[in-house]
C-alpha cells in the first residue's frame, strides 16, 4: 500500500509559504493506519525497545497504538504543566524562541531502552530535545521512528549520529 496517497498537502498552513503535510486522511482510513502500524512495527522489532515514547501531541496518536500492537508500555512527553507528580524537563530552542518538554520523573526508572515516535521530523529540535530528556530521565534511546520526514529541513542533522532514525515517508 502506498501511504503517500493518504497524506494531504495543504499550502500556506499554518502560515504563508508553508506546505503542511496532513496525516488526517491516513488516520481516518483503517487500512492505511494498519499499514503504517505494520511498517512502524518492523522498525520497532529491529530496535527492540522496552518502551515507546510519544511526543505531544501527534506522537501520541502514532505511538500509543504502536506500543499496544507491540505489547510495550507507552510514555508521553508533554508540554509544561500537563503531567501530574514530579517531572523532569528540558528546555530547547525553536526557530523563534524557547520551549520545554517534560516527562514524569519515574517513567524511565531502571534504565529501559526507548524508541521515540512522532508523526513528523522537520528541523529535528523537538525530537533531539526528547532524546536529551530521555537520557536525563534515565532511559536509553535506541532509535526514532516518524511517519514523515521533511528532508529539506535537515532534521536528521539535529539528532544524535549514533541513534537510528527511520521515516516511512519523506518529502524534499
How far, in Å, are 27, 32, 47, 77, 94 from residue 70 at the CA level?
19, 18, 12, 19, 32
Please say if 38 is a catalytic residue. no
* C-alpha to C-alpha distance for 8 and 118, rounded to whole angstroms: 17
* C-alpha to C-alpha distance for 83 and 78, rounded to whole angstroms: 7
Assign 11 to helix, strand or coil.
strand
Catalytic hit among 58, 100, 151, 156: 58
* C-alpha to C-alpha distance for 117 and 63, rounded to whole angstroms: 5
Q: Which of 153, 129, 136, 91 minimizes the C-alpha distance to 144?
A: 129
Please say if 86 is a catalytic residue. no
Mark residue 33 as left, alpha or beta (left: phi above 0; alpha: psi -120 to 50; beta: remaining). alpha
Give the catalytic positions in this structure.
Answer: 58, 95
Amino acid at each position: 500500500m502506498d501511504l503517500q496517497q493518504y497524506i494531504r498537502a495543504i499550502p500556506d498552513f499554518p502560515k504563508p509559504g508553508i506546505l503542511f503535510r496532513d496525516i488526517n486522511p491516513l488516520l481516518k482510513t483503517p487500512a492505511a493506519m494498519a499499514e503504517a502500524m505494520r511498517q512502524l512495527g518492523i522498525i520497532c522489532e529491529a530496535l527492540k525497545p522496552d518502551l515507546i515514547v510519544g511526543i505531544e501531541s501527534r506522537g501520541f496518536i502514532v505511538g500509543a497504538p504502536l506500543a499496544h500492537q507491540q505489547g510495550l508500555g507507552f510514555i508521553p512527553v508533554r508540554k509544561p504543566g500537563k503531567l501530574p507528580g514530579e517531572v523532569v524537563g528540558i528546555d530547547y530552542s525553536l526557530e523563534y524562541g524557547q520551549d520545554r518538554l517534560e516527562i514524569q520523573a519515574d517513567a524511565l526508572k531502571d534504565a529501559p531502552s526507548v524508541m521515540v515516535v512522532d508523526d513528523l521530523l522537520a528541523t529535528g529540535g523537538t525530537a533531539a530535545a526528547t532524546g536529551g530528556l530521555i537520557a536525563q530521565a534515565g532511559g536509553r534511546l535506541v532509535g526514532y521512528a516518524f511517519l514523515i520526514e521533511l528532508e529539506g529541513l535537515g532534521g536528521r542533522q539535529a539528532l544524535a549520529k549514533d541513534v537510528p532514525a527511520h521515516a516511512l515517508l519523506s518529502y524534499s
